[in-house]
Structure 1
Amino acid sequence: MYKAAITGTGVFTPSEIITNAELVAAFNAYADLFNVRHADEIAAGTTEAKEHSSEEFIVKASGIKQRYVIDKSGVLDPEIMHPLLRQRSDEEPSLMAEMGVDAAQKALAQAGRSASEVDLVICAASNMERAYPAIAVEIQNLLGCAGFAFDMNVACSSATFGIQAAADMIKSGSIRSALVINPEICSAHLEWRDRDCHFIFGDVATATLIERADLAGGPCFEIISTRCATEFSNNIRNNNGFLRRSRPDGTKDRRDMQFMQNGRKVFKEVLPMVSAHIAAHMDAENIKASDLKRLWLHQANKTMNDFIGKKVLGRAPEPGEQPNILQDYANTSSAGSIIAFSKFSNDLADGDLGVICSFGAGYSVGSVIVKRRD
């Protein structure tokens, strides 16, 4: 039985940024247009008027101040309100593969490895650009990796579930190394015209290189243990799959074809689930709250993370113990905890313990306990 370790991480960040001020201006312009065009229905009581959004509302609801996106022009056009992503030819790399390759190359460079040394590529994300062939196989081909590759989707927990799958294969000896890649084009499945959620998501890609610990060429994070759990719920949902359904009149503009969330129920049900999951995982490994140096949590909502951090540690986290990147990146689905880990892990000392945790639709929760090894 071998031990697995994280030896490198990489983050691809899009060049375009949408600030809260820009987003609010676009959304409010859309709301005004909607209210004018549907004035008669609104007056008759058959249609609800659209409320304005505000920067204060967004920050209070989420802690988000901006987000990176692949395309901002379409999102900020009140007549469009979605990203304008060019349909690529079959001979071109897919957008998800292009993003994933960038993140993967950074992870490989950090570990001092070449792509030819990688035995497995997992593309783990909330939404795939196509049903098949697998994005992971395309990334494998573009990088020049050996072995095999496959896609997986556990929504916002995709990264931690992918890490467990890769770590288990390394421990068994069936592979020596794996890249778990999370290209998240969240802007494409967000309903930007819905005031309750129009601010939530951003785009990004992350990559985590996992190797046999005895083969690590430098500082790494040994994977002490992984644990995953799922429990079915409809409270976070996106029905826009390949069996896309239509209205009786043949139109496709169904609200449930984009991201939907019952926020109150999610808060009430997910928070205790995640807190209990991490506590049980730590208890099984005889790790006390005082032993932890860092929590790298899923970046969905600052209030949620503050609650979980306090439950796990038994007190409010000190500055730096539970780093947030939410204010800059917004919710990036499965990639969020990996961005936090990538940006806020190098300062840990040999022997320091931390937990990477993600949670979301499913419901799903995945946790990875790691130890710094120099």
Structure 2
Amino acid sequence: MSEIVPVISATGLYTPPDSISNEELVKSFNAYVARFNADHAVEIAAGTVSELQPSSAEFIEKASGIKARHVISKAPILDPAIMAPRWAERANEEISVLAEIGVAAARDALSRAGRDAADVDAVLCAASNMQRPYPAMAIEIQAALGIEGFAFDMNVACSSATFGIQTAADYIRAGHARSVLVVSPEICSGHLNWRDRDSHFIFGDVATAVLVEAVDIAPQPHWEILGTRLKTVFSNNIRNNFGFLNRATPETAGAADKLFVQEGRKVFKEVVPMVASLIVEEAAKLGLDGGALRRLWLHQANQGMNRLISQRVLGHEANDDESPTVLDTYGNTSSAGSIIAFHLNSEDLAAGDAGVICSFGAGYSAGTVFVRKVA
């Protein structure tokens, strides 16, 4: 019996209506800095407390390529006295915020594929930032959509979506499912230290969904999954220590390592060659010339990283058509970034065009999904 071919039938996207520009963010951050320095003037003068430095929109764009980011809770984030997302706690009988945006993205994907929720066999919630440990977010999304079958959560940081796509494709190949939703709701604003000058501008909120199905039931057009490759290498250079075993106490409240922290220069130096090699090596195994890939939908973390990875894969500096970016308006949306890039920049490709969806991030983790358009 021949192997069942998995394809991407459709993708979906939910974008929060509110956006924070660099200028708005800097105004809030600098107000906090001025207040902190005034409140600690005596200690700063004595040398026991370090004076905080203000930021600028120019610094942020030069460091990252980000100009704005969408968020679910804008006003509290920009309030210098809060600088964190806030919303009313919901009852257990109400849908959670994370599941709500995941459902919106999933419905978009189903609509684009002309598919009903009853046709789906499984839901994978593949994301960095889960609202709770259990019940699984995937099961809540499954229930809200009215899907039979099974669901579970998976977290591989910024590579969660690509790892989820390979997992879904494997279920299709093995005959365990014929239609799988990979949903990546990312409320990254909740784990970001908005008072850290070096990272407060990085993340935004969003949700994506990818419908992976057996080729014989897929709509036209669709994307054949040619192959996938995953890789993990342990590193402390991107880390978040918050968890139920070390939740905030009076002694640890506000501790920086309970939020996102990274050694940015080390990440850049170590991840770029790892990801570029991963793409080139897997492309060769699939009989593809890396330089002939029509488009690279890369993880949206840093403009400089993407520029260098693209150059090493294609053999020349990529233009916006070859390696599109959504980083400027969405910021880093963790596992959803490469999926947003694919969702917004794939319809124009012709039948037979091949490309790669690639993610990379904490772990380190990296995932590649090579696809070819079928009209």
TM-score bracket, normalised by the shorter chain, equals over 0.9
2:56 is matched with 54
Supply the distance in 1 between the matched residues of 2:99 and 2:248 (Cα, whole angstroms). 30
Matches within 5 A, 1:194-273: 194-245=196-247, 250-273=251-274
Q: Give 1:273's aligned amino acid.
A: M
State the SS of the aligned residue for 1:276: helix
Matches within 5 A, 1:1-374: 1-245=3-247, 250-374=251-375
Q: CA deviation at 1:290?
A: 3.6
Supply the distance in 1 between the matched residues of 2:307 and 2:292 (Cα, whole angstroms). 19
Q: CA RMSD in A?
A: 0.9
Q: CA deviation at 1:289?
A: 2.4
Q: Deviations over 1:302-356 (max 9, x none)?
A: 0100000000001011331100000000000000000000000001111110000
Q: CA deviation at 1:291?
A: 2.6
Supply the distance in 2 between the matched residues of 1:154 and 1:319 (Cα, whole angstroms). 28
Q: % of aligned pairs identical?
A: 58
Q: Deviations over 1:188-245 (max 9, x none)?
A: 1000000000100000000000100121121000000011000000100001111125
Supply the distance in 2 between the matched residues of 1:76 and 1:319 (Cα, whole angstroms). 32
Q: Give 1:357's aligned amino acid.
A: C
CA shift in 2, pair 1:80/1:246, >3 Å: closer
Supply the distance in 2 between the matched residues of 1:289 and 1:228 (Cα, whole angstroms). 17
Q: Give 1:156's aligned amino acid.
A: C
Supply the distance in 2 between the matched residues of 1:246 and 1:101 (Cα, whole angstroms). 30
Q: CA deviation at 1:15?
A: 0.8
Supply the distance in 2 between the matched residues of 1:187 and 1:171 (Cα, whole angstroms). 36
Report runs of 4+ in structure 1 exceeding 3 Å deviation: none
State the SS of the aligned residue for 1:222: strand
Supply the distance in 2 between the matched residues of 1:32 and 1:38 (Cα, whole angstroms). 10
Supply the distance in 1 between the matched residues of 2:62 and 2:277 (Cα, whole angstroms). 26
State the SS of the aligned residue for 2:336: helix
Q: Deviations over 1:25-69 (max 9, x none)?
A: 000000000001111111111111110000000000000000000
Supply the distance in 1 between the matched residues of 2:47 and 2:29 (Cα, whole angstroms). 22
Q: Give 2:180's aligned amino acid.
A: A
Q: Give 1:315's aligned amino acid.
A: H
Q: CA deviation at 1:283?
A: 1.1
TM-score of the superposed pair, with normalisation by structure 2: 0.98
Q: Give 2:270's aligned amino acid.
A: E
Supply the distance in 2 between the matched residues of 1:251 and 1:299 (Cα, whole angstroms). 31
Supply the distance in 2 between the matched residues of 1:336 and 1:290 (Cα, whole angstroms). 23
State the SS of the aligned residue for 2:356: strand
Supply the distance in 2 between the matched residues of 1:76 and 1:359 (Cα, whole angstroms). 29
Greater Cα offset, 79-88 or 188-197: 79-88
Q: Deviations over 1:124-173 (max 9, x none)?
A: 11011001000000000000111100000000000000000000110111
Q: CA deviation at 1:82?
A: 0.6
Supply the distance in 2 between the matched residues of 1:172 and 1:127 (Cα, whole angstroms). 29
Supply the distance in 2 between the matched residues of 1:8 and 1:246 (Cα, whole angstroms). 40
Residues 12 and 343 of structure 2 are in contact (CA less than 8 Å); yes or no, is this contact kept in structure 1? yes
> For structure 2, which runs of at least 5 residues remain unmatched after alignment?
none
Q: Give 2:154's aligned amino acid.
A: M
Supply the distance in 2 between the matched residues of 1:166 and 1:230 (Cα, whole angstroms). 19
Q: Give 1:254's aligned amino acid.
A: A
Supply the distance in 2 between the matched residues of 1:307 and 1:161 (Cα, whole angstroms). 23
Q: CA deviation at 1:246?
A: 5.3
CA shift in 2, pair 1:246/1:138, >3 Å: closer
State the SS of the aligned residue for 1:74: helix
Supply the distance in 2 between the matched residues of 1:268 and 1:111 (Cα, whole angstroms). 40
Residues 292 and 314 of structure 2 are in contact (CA less than 8 Å); yes or no, is this contact kept in structure 1? no
Greater Cα offset, 345-354 or 83-92: 83-92
